[in-house]
């Protein structure tokens, strides 16, 4: 049952970039409404389990701040999607696996594995190929800038994940608690970013807001709730394989729905990045003193 719930969550979040593109909203608008439409569902889920939420005010504030970072991440991701399409933007966002390992090395003194050191240049080569290397057949309106926004997405998403996981150390609350606090932070962050986004709008429109409702309820609410609950309870190897479904499916959906025709060079880049992610999530990015899951193994990809 746990495996089915995890698979359902990952399949649902694999549509994130697709729904963001269909909504055709500005970056800050999409970030705000994705969070706002998820709040009622998460509030109901948290109310049903609030007696088991033993976090203190500091932990809740940490989750809130993580959510504000998530708003910036989602805005950057939208900019990447606008320039290189949904499929490539999903793949690039998953470079966060490398970044989380690097931060763990710098802050927690967790030494990288031999495999991670070998894979880093391979993944970076894949990122360069995704940019199209200036080729006229590269997919996207601005592949080079799209890659830069994609890498910025991976950086901010890594910061969010590390802070979000820290907010519930010791699992003092059911998944809905930290996720609700983070989603409130994302809504506030989206409003703040709206002041810098000339296309930001609170006006309701159709069908754009229909896609935003799906993004909030299906992805931020239901999908993330499944993932937050199930993935830490699965073995690392199974988690790794399941997590790789998200960027792979993202590329498939983009090809089927938007007919995103990548160049041969970009497909080679996708293969290198996904292959590197698979190796890292199976072997771990850092060496741990005991049989503990690697910091990236239980972390969902960009959603």
Say how many residues make up the chain: 303
Q: At what angle do helices 176-194 and 27-47 cross, to 10 degrees?
A: 150
User: Tens of pLDDT along 85-101?
Assistant: 999 999 998 888 777 77
Give 231's pLDDT tier (boundaries 50, 70, 90): low
Contacts of 68 (CB under 8 A, 6+ apart): 185, 186, 188, 189, 192
User: What pTM was estimated for this model as a whole?
Assistant: 0.87
| Average pLDDT over every residue of 232-241 | 62
Position 8 scores a pLDDT of 87
**Per-residue pLDDT tens for 31-48?**
999 999 999 999 999 999
Which residue has better confidence, 291 or 166? 166
What mean pLDDT value characterizes the chain? 86
Q: What does the alpha-carbon distance between residue 274 and residue 256 come to, in Å, rounded to a whole number?
A: 19
Average the pLDDT over each of 20-29, 117-126, 161-170, 291-300 and give the range with the smallest value: 291-300
Burial bucket for residue 257 (CB in 10 Å: 0-12, 13-18, 19+): middle
The first and second tokens of residue 51, run together, are 């007696």
Q: How confident is the model at residue 239 (pLDDT cuts 50, 70, 90)?
A: low
Task: Say what the alpha-carbon torsion angle 114, 105, 172, 73 is, to the nearest 10 degrees.
Answer: -100
CB 18 within 8 A of CB 253: yes
pLDDT score recorded for residue 290: 45
Which residue in 301, 296, 298 sits closest to 98, CA to CA?
Answer: 296
pLDDT band of residue 119 (cuts 50, 70, 90) is confident
Q: What is the reported pLDDT for 72? A: 97
Instruction: Measure Cα distances from 182 to 1, 64, 160, 172, 200 in Å.
Output: 27, 5, 9, 15, 21
Using CB atoms within 10 Å of the CB of residue 195, give its burial: 0 to 12 exposed, 13 to 18 middle, 19+ buried: exposed
CA–CA separation, 143 vs 65, rounded Å? 31
Block residue for tokens 């030494």: 111
C-alpha angle with apex 81: 92 to 164, nearest 5 degrees?
60
The reported pLDDT for the residue numbered 284 is: 65
Residue position matching structure tokens 């930290």: 178
The mean pLDDT value for 2-17 works out to 87
Q: What is the pLDDT of residues 249-299, one digit of tens each?
A: 999 999 999 999 999 999 999 999 988 888 877 776 666 554 444 444 445
């Amino acid at each position: 049952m746990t495996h089915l719930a995890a698979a359902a969550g990952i399949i649902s979040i694999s549509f994130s970039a697709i729904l963001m593109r269909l909504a055709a909203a500005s970056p800050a608008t999409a970030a705000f409404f994705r969070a706002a439409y998820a709040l009622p569902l998460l509030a109901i889920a948290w109310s049903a389990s609030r007696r088991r939420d033993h976090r203190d005010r500091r932990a809740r504030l940490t989750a809130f701040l993580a959510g504000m970072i998530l708003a910036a991440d989602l805005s950057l991701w939208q900019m990447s999607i606008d320039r290189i399409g949904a499929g490539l933007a999903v793949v690039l966002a998953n470079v966060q696996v490398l970044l989380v390992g690097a931060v763990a090395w710098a802050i927690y003194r967790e030494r990288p594995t031999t495999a991670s050191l070998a894979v880093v240049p391979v993944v970076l080569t894949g990122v360069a190929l995704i940019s199209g290397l200036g080729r006229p057949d590269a997919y996207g309106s601005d592949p080079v800038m799209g890659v830069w926004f994609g890498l910025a997405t991976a950086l901010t998403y890594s910061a969010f994940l590390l802070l979000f996981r820290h907010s519930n150390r010791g699992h003092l609350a059911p998944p809905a608690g930290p996720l609700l606090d983070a989603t409130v932070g994302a809504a506030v962050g989206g409003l703040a970013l709206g002041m810098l986004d000339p296309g930001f709008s609170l006006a309701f429109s159709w069908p754009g807001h229909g896609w935003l409702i799906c993004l909030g309820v299906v992805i931020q609410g239901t999908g993330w709730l499944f993932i937050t609950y199930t993935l830490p309870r699965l073995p690392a190897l199974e988690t790794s394989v399941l997590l790789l479904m998200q960027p792979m499916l993202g590329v498939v959906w983009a090809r089927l729905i938007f007919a995103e025709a990548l160049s041969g060079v970009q497909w080679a880049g996708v293969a290198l990045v996904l292959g590197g992610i698979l190796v890292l999530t199976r072997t771990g990015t850092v060496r741990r003193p005991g049989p503990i899951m690697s910091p990236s193994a239980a972390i969902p990809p960009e959603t």
